[in-house]
Copies of this chain bind each other. A is one copy, B any other.
């Protein structure tokens, strides 16, 4: 089916008048001695023939590749796209190619992808999405990642709660807590929360941060003050609808993610409900679009690109000692929040 590439290392060796072994050394081991001019001759031959090493042959012989695997929930989501940008930037600096897979928050799919990436002998697997709360799945992932790491792979997770590999730990709870404090300071007491799927650890943490922030001021959430929706713009639309059509709608809508907040803003706009005059709205994440929204969205800004860069950098470090990098969100108080009148 496929024609083989014409020029192999063997060809280069012959062209340069050396053995296969020598050609290999001159080409891939910069520290190797070699008699004067030899290296130059081999390099010249390689260039002359347009030699391109076969990465599969190399991977087979050395059991490592120049690829890294990046596991995210969804590229179409700006949160992950931005983070991926950071990963790719650093990977490029190290001549690494990144293979990206999207799980769409589906546990079996996540596991299968990790297995495939491990089978590919990628140098590292970066799990950039919040981990999924499911005991059986967590155990299977753990076993898989452990085995992968034991066989020389590097694992990095952008989520807390992973017990293997390096971790970039985003302080979801702390960020939300800060945000809530700020809103309470503005005078808010009536909150509605639009949450995402509870299977996401990040969602749980953000909710916990909200509860804690309220509790710090003697406030709390009623049963009906929180709705669970899809982590998307559509989810935000539905969530706002549920909360705002109650007899006594909240004066402040806390979304657990920026995209959800966008949906909520859209719902409110369509109903002619003014933000922030009638109701305040907040997001979480700080994706670039929060600046373009009108009103601009108050949110907890995460250095997403930097998170991606850090993750990729950790991926380059040896598995031991384990690194845990804590990332704080910054409160970005913008135009979608104001004191309730």
Contact = CB atoms under 8 A, between A and B. Distances in A.
Interface of A: 1-5, 52-57, 59-60, 62-65, 67, 74-76, 78, 81-82, 84-85, 88, 92, 97-102, 115-121, 150-153, 233, 262, 265-266, 269, 288-289, 291-294, 305
A67 B99 contact: yes
Chain multiplicity (copies): 2
Contacts of A4: 63, 151
B292 A52 contact: no
Nearest to A102: B88
A292 B291 contact: no
A100 B89 CA distance: 12
Contacts of A54: 60, 119, 121
B75 A85 contact: yes
Contact of A85 (B102, B115, B292): B102
Given A55-B119, A99-B97, A2 B151 contact: yes
Contact of A2 (B74, B121, B294): B121
A296 to B, nearest CB: 9
A312 B138 CA distance: 32
Nearest to A266: B292
Task: Give the most central of A56, A88, A98, A288: most B CB within 10 Å.
Answer: A56
Nearest to A304: B76
B288 A269 contact: no
Nearest to A297: B292
B82 A121 contact: no
